[in-house]
Amino acid sequence: MHTRLNNQHQLLQIRELGLSPQIFDGLQALDDSVKRLEQQLQDDDTELGQLRALTETAALINSSLDVDSVLGQAMDELIRLTNAERGFILLLNEESEELEFRISREVEQTEAMAAGNEVSRTILNEVITTGIPLLTDNASNDPRMQKSETLAKYVLRSVVCAPLIYKERAIGAIYVDNRYREGVFTERELNLLQAFANQTAIALENAILFARVQATLREITETKELMENVFASIGSGVITTDAEDRVVTYNPAAAAMLRRPASEALNKPVQSLMPRMGAAELENKLHAVQQGGEQATIELQSDVPGRGRVALNVKISPLRDADQMAQGVAMVVDDLTDQREGDETLQLMNRYLPPGLSENIQQIAGLALGGERREVTCVFIHVCPYSVFPPDARPQQIMELLNEYLQVATDVIHDARGVIDKYMGNEIMVLFNTQLNPQEKHGLLAVDMALALRTAFVDLYQRLGIAPDPHYYRFGIHSGVATLGNVGSLNRRSFTALGDSINLSHRLLENAQRGQIIISDDVYQHICRTCPEPPPVAFTERDPIKVKGREQLTRIFEVFRQ
């Protein structure tokens, strides 16, 4: 139209005519308007393409939790849309608070940049500190960038940087630049980068959250497996219940004790596992523990199908949540069946064996048949003569009366930690300082035991209503080396002491008068050596005696309580 009007204007001038200048001015204005509209349409088309790409990028970012791979693809698209040369995503390290490169992209790897990811720390620090995006279209002339060593070194031209903001906290930044061209980036690219940054921040936090959830799940799984392994390996039964007393946890040990598999126990009332073991008492304990919050212990005994009579010790502890509300109980069940059977056997043994013998039966079993030599104090006790019993008494009556004397003596001997070697009718052989009852002051302990037994016999005389004059008992006590150990066979053994010291103790008993406690000079010397202070015992020396089997006289003392 402009050309045609010019041609028409030239023809009119030949005829000395012409067109109005306003027509050409209006036509030029129209031409300028069309060009502006064309440019605006191009800009709108570019922005629309960027928005479409941003939407696709958002879908891409949210489609996968492999954030690094997705962000790398998104960064490639962002560089294409903004005509940038390079692009980076940097994240703050929570511990060091330093920016670290997460994604790096570069259109052309140059020698200058091959040494590493060099970016303007001045721009990054400004963006991270203020949380405001920054655009510079001529960084070398930007007064804000005059102190940037990176800009000076690498001659960066156009730079745009946007912070990654999540919950009002900067977690990193997106940075793109172009070293060769000025004015590459406009407000449109800045807005695009900011929108991309917002999406990226959310995607990164989601990925971090997902990673934490996965780590937590792994820890929970590992903990659960560990607990299951621990429960499976614990020798005690472990049972936990909810607030309604239903079984939640039931380990293999509990199943073995109660002969009930887990399939028949889980989600069932815990009382149903022990219907014959005092379910009512157990229920009362469970409620008391849940309400009072204190631990409780209960021992249950009953018959279990497939096992017979069992004894169980159950420790009950409360399970509470963070608000201290009752959520159930934890029960630790120990099988005491073998222990109770052992206790009953031990009680039976103690009726026939000295306590030291039964308590240290393993140590006795380890002794060789030959025995070992050690210093001991041996006491022989004659509790009473048979002549004190009624002449017309039957053997059963005599045994009952004799057992009364022996019972009194046994109680006193056990209190003094003496080991009864044997009963010999109306006599008892007692040992001190054996492997079963090692004692440093065994001589004094033996004398104290004899004096205590003297008092006990006097009390017995009063209960029986007799007034002996003198007393019936006699004691012979000697300290010396003897051989102690097992005698017998591999199938049947007896623990005893042998040697001249044992024989001398019995010879002293034979030479003692009724009511006398006779000790040898060896006992007296042992007491003097081992007691720093004089004991509350009176020693009265008697005439030496000549005992059977010895040529030399034996020095003796009679002892009394001071």
| Among the four given CATH numbers 3.30.450.20, 3.40.50.970, 1.20.970.10, 3.40.190.10, the one describing domain 234-340 | 3.30.450.20
Torsion over CA: 51, 55, 57, 58 (sign): positive
Note the pLDDT of residue 540: 94
Query: What's at 131, amino acid-wise?
Result: G
**Residue, of 48 and 198, whose pLDDT is higher:** 198
Q: By three-state DSSP, how is residue 551 classified?
A: coil
Is a pLDDT exceeding 70 seen at residue 49? Answer: no
Q: According to the per-residue pLDDT averaged within each range, which of 73-77, 413-417, 488-492 is highest?
A: 413-417
Residue pLDDT, tens place only, 367-423: 555 678 899 999 999 999 988 888 888 889 889 999 999 999 999 999 999 988 889
Check residue 321 and give left, alpha or beta (phi > 0: left; psi -120 to 50: alpha): beta
Is a pLDDT exceeding 70 seen at residue 98? Answer: yes
Note the pLDDT of residue 115: 42
- 37 — pLDDT class (breaks 50, 70, 90): confident
H/E element holding 112?
Answer: none
For helices 521-530 and 442-464, the axis angle rounded to 10 degrees is 120
Q: What is the mean pLDDT of residues 173-186?
A: 83
Dig out the tokens for 405 from the structure.
């004397």
Whether the pTM exceeds 0.85: the reply is no
**Residue, of 264 and 493, whose pLDDT is higher:** 264
The third-level CATH classification (topology) of the domain covering 368-561 is: Alpha-Beta Plaits (3.30.70)
Q: What is the mean pLDDT of residues 205-216?
A: 80
Strands (E) located in 282-371: 296-304, 308-320, 326-335
Dig out the tokens for 259 from the structure.
């002969």
**What's 513's DSSP letter?**
P
Residue pLDDT, tens place only, 330-349: 888 888 887 777 677 666 55
Is a pLDDT exceeding 80 seen at residue 31? Answer: yes
Is a pLDDT exceeding 50 seen at residue 156? Answer: yes
Among the ranges given (232-236, 270-274, 403-407, 510-514), the one the predictor scored with the smallest mean pLDDT: 232-236
SS (H, E, C) 150-167: HHHHHCCCEEEEEEEEEC
> How distant, in Å, are the alpha carbons of 135, 371, 375, 439, 505 from that of 435?
95, 11, 10, 9, 19
Dig out the tokens for 413 from the structure.
């001997």
**Residue, of 374 and 49, whose pLDDT is higher:** 374
Note the pLDDT of residue 114: 42
Note the pLDDT of residue 557: 96
Residues 67 and 199 sit within 8 Å (Cβ to Cβ):
no
Dig out the tokens for 149 from the structure.
């060593």
Note the pLDDT of residue 448: 96
Q: How many whole angstroms separate alpha carbon 560 and alpha carbon 448?
A: 10
Q: What is the mean pLDDT of residues 475-498?
A: 80
**Beta-carbon count within 10 A of 121 CB:** 12
- 113 — pLDDT class (breaks 50, 70, 90): very low
**Residue, of 311 and 350, whose pLDDT is higher:** 311
Note the pLDDT of residue 289: 83
Residue pLDDT, tens place only, 8-25: 878 887 877 877 778 877
> How distant, in Å, are the alpha carbons of 253, 282, 309 from that of 332?
10, 13, 20
DSSP 45-92: HHHHHHHHHHHHHHHHHHH-S-HHHHHHHHHHHHHHHHT-SEEEEEEE
Is a pLDDT exceeding 50 seen at residue 163? Answer: yes
- 365 — pLDDT class (breaks 50, 70, 90): low
DSSP 430-489: EEESSSSS--TTHHHHHHHHHHHHHHHHHHHHHHHT---SS-S-EEEEEEEEEEEEEEE-
| Listed residue (363, 306, 296, 295) closest to 337, CA to CA | 306
Is a pLDDT exceeding 80 seen at residue 510? Answer: yes
Domain map (residue ranges) of the chain: 2-44, 64-109+116-210, 234-340, 368-561
Note the pLDDT of residue 352: 47
- 454 — pLDDT class (breaks 50, 70, 90): very high
User: Superfamily assignment of 64-109+116-210 in CATH?
Assistant: GAF domain (3.30.450.40)
Note the pLDDT of residue 407: 93
Note the pLDDT of residue 327: 81
Note the pLDDT of residue 346: 60
Residues 555 and 544 sit within 8 Å (Cβ to Cβ):
yes
Is a pLDDT exceeding 90 seen at residue 556? Answer: yes
Note the pLDDT of residue 112: 39
Note the pLDDT of residue 370: 60
- 191 — pLDDT class (breaks 50, 70, 90): confident
Q: How many whole angstroms separate alpha carbon 366 and alpha carbon 486?
A: 9
Among the ranges given (199-213, 426-440, 461-475), the one the predictor scored with the smallest mean pLDDT: 199-213
Note the pLDDT of residue 111: 43
Dig out the tokens for 1 from the structure.
């139209």
Q: What is the mean pLDDT of residues 86-92?
A: 88
Q: How many whole angstroms separate alpha carbon 252 and alpha carbon 85?
A: 66
Note the pLDDT of residue 426: 92
Is a pLDDT exceeding 80 seen at residue 57? Answer: no
**CA 78 from centroid of its chain's CA atoms:** 53
Q: Locate tokens 């405001």: which residue?
A: 132
Asked, colleague to colleague, whether 234-340 and 368-561 share their fold, the answer is no
The pLDDT > 90 percentage for the chain reads: 22
Q: What is the mean pLDDT of residues 293-307?
A: 80
- Give me the residues paired with residue 420 across strands: 430
Is a pLDDT exceeding 70 seen at residue 231? Answer: no
Note the pLDDT of residue 360: 58
Give the max Cα distance, the chain.
Answer: 186
Omega before 470 within 30 of 0, i.e. cis? yes
For helices 187-233 and 67-82, the axis angle rounded to 10 degrees is 180
Residues 70 and 61 sit within 8 Å (Cβ to Cβ):
yes
Is a pLDDT exceeding 70 seen at residue 271? Answer: yes
If you average pLDDT over every residue of the chain, what do you get?
A: 81
**Residue, of 231 and 30, whose pLDDT is higher:** 30
Note the pLDDT of residue 75: 81
Note the pLDDT of residue 220: 84
Note the pLDDT of residue 462: 92
Note the pLDDT of residue 476: 96
- 46 — pLDDT class (breaks 50, 70, 90): low
| Listed residue (496, 542, 550, 549) closest to 519, CA to CA | 542
Note the pLDDT of residue 558: 96
